[in-house]
């Protein structure tokens, strides 16, 4: 009985440790900085004539934040207890662009057939008045993709390769 209580205590400590991770080190400053930058871009979106030119800062900002989140996943999976540093600009192709492209390609591999089906079947895509009617294979594929996507995405991030989408690995 004592062993079971000790195991429960360690699991509870692990859960608390997981939820306190963003509050360690300079984590709160990073969260506040992200929220302020996102708020500034959102406010600037409503300024006349500036909204059209904000696509590039918006894409750059979200790409950079995505690369940082990938760094958080990889460093925490290696057992590091602190937040990682921001990705550097010295090798931006390897540290920023490649991980984001891996995520986009992995997303398209998981959900690509449904996206392509909607693109080439406009009567299903544009049905506003009623619920669109999809074939049963779409629902089956979408169910499997929704279940598989988080695990596959995590495997791609941790192994830094699209070959990690192999169902035997996931």
What six digits make up the tokens of 93? 């192709």
Largest CA distance in the chain: 68
Q: What is the mean pLDDT of residues 54-73?
A: 83
The whole-number pLDDT of residue 51 equals 64
pLDDT digits (tens, 9 = 90+) for 84-97: 877 777 877 887 88
The whole-number pLDDT of residue 40 equals 86
The answer to whether residue 118 sits within a structural domain is yes
End-to-end Cα, the chain, rounded Å: 35
The answer to whether residue 20 sits within a structural domain is yes
How does the average pLDDT of the chain come out, rounded?
A: 80
Rounded Cα distance, 85 and 68, in Å: 8
The whole-number pLDDT of residue 130 equals 60
Rounded Cα distance, 134 and 151, in Å: 26
Q: Are residues 158 and 96 in the same domain?
A: yes
The answer to whether residue 78 sits within a structural domain is no
- Between helix 136-159 and helix 98-120 the angle, nearest 10°, is 170
- Range with the poorest average pLDDT among 48-52, 66-70, 75-79, 123-127: 123-127
Enclosing domain of residue 34: 1-67
Q: Are residues 120 and 54 in the same domain?
A: no
- Whether the predicted pLDDT of 67 surpasses 80: yes
The whole-number pLDDT of residue 148 equals 92
Q: Are residues 101 and 169 in the same domain?
A: yes
What six digits make up the tokens of 11? 């699991």
Look at the chain and report how many structural domains it folds into.
2
Q: Are residues 36 and 112 in the same domain?
A: no
Q: Are residues 95 and 170 in the same domain?
A: yes
Residues 6+ apart with CB under 8 A from 66: 99, 100, 103
pLDDT digits (tens, 9 = 90+) for 128-161: 556 667 778 888 988 999 999 999 998 998 888 8
Q: What is the mean pLDDT of residues 73-82?
A: 81
Rounded Cα distance, 102 and 81, in Å: 25
């Amino acid at each position: 009985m004592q062993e079971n209580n000790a195991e429960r205590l360690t699991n509870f400590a692990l859960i608390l440790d997981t939820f306190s991770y963003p509050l360690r080190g300079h984590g709160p400053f990073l969260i506040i900085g992200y929220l302020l930058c996102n708020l500034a871009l959102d406010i600037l979106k409503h300024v006349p004539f500036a909204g059209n030119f904000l696509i590039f800062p918006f894409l750059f900002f979200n790409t950079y934040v995505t690369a940082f989140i990938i760094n958080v996943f990889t460093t925490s999976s290696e057992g590091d207890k602190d937040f990682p540093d921001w990705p550097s600009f010295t090798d931006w192709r390897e540290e920023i662009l490649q991980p984001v492209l891996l995520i986009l390609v992995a997303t398209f591999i998981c959900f690509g057939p449904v996206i392509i089906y909607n693109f080439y079947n406009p009567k299903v895509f544009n049905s506003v008045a009623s619920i669109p009617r999809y074939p049963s294979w779409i629902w089956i594929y979408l169910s499997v993709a929704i279940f598989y996507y988080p695990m596959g995405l995590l495997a791609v991030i941790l192994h830094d390769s699209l070959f990690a989408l192999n169902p035997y690995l996931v």
